[in-house]
Amino acid sequence: MSTKIPRRSRRTSRTMPPYRAVLAVDAEKYSRTSSYNQHILSNTIRDALAEAFHGSGLEGLWKNASFPQSTGDGYVVGVPPEHLPLLIHPLMNELQEVLGDVQPGLAFEDRALRLRLRAAIGLGPLPDSGGDEHGDGTGTAMNETHRLLDAPELRAELAGSDPDITFLAVGLTRRVYEDAVLGGYVGLAPRLFRAAEVDLPDKEYRAEAYLHVPRPSLRPENDREQGGGPVGAKAPSRGNGRSRGEIVFEAVTDVQPG
């Protein structure tokens, strides 16, 4: 008597989605501002990113970015992986300068209003249909980028700096650091990045990251003692003849949803 052996279903292989470098930014203390000011900040984040891409010679990347999305207190874009080093440098340095330039416009609207950003950069396979399908940008690389964006270590980089000097703190996933920075493709020395262990038990996430501050500073001692409340301030101009404060006034006077 023969016994028929049941056949198990076979696993099938499938193609991977394209690799994308992911840039996500998030505004410091966004929820502490009024609803009106949140709208201003949301528009200013988008405009500051657009200006930084343009000033870095990366306007084409901004115009053709994958799954661009405003998160209210931040923004997310994806770009082809070969451009990953350019997201780190020169884009982050340019974004620091743009944020410094927009502060006077924000202070004109509200003396206590300022915009300081955390940025996280990740890399990995992510669905990208060009907007034709739902779920573009969904995947582990996107999750890792947002986990890093929320990391206490990255928040501390801004919290411990002078709010009149440092407007941006950047975090890289280990993969980004190894491929782009240690790979020699970024125009910055590896010693300008600090290793940090990110541990988010609530998110079941633990990973090594690398932090970088384009313009580092220390929070003034008296500001630390008083809790470091925000104040309106002007950042020094780079003297290159370009006036970029205008983008803030566009965001303030034109508050159409973006």
pLDDT, tens digit, 9 for 90 and up, residues 30-69: 999 999 999 999 999 999 999 999 999 999 999 999 999 9
pLDDT, tens digit, 9 for 90 and up, residues 159-185: 999 999 999 999 999 999 999 999 999
pLDDT, tens digit, 9 for 90 and up, residues 191-226: 999 999 999 999 899 999 999 999 999 998 766 545
Task: Kindly give, in sequence order, each residue whose CB lies less than 8 Å from that of residue 216, ignoring residues fewer than 6 positions away.
Answer: 161, 166
E strands present in the chain: 19-27, 66-70, 74-79, 117-125, 168-173, 194-200, 205-212
Task: Kindly give, in sequence order, each residue whose CB lies less than 8 Å from that of residue 145, ignoring residues fewer than 6 positions away.
Answer: 22, 23, 24, 76, 120, 121, 122, 173
Q: What token pair was written down for 109?
A: 């609207």
19-219: in CATH 3.20.20.450? no
Facing residues of 21 across strands?
Answer: 79, 123
In this prediction the pTM is 0.83
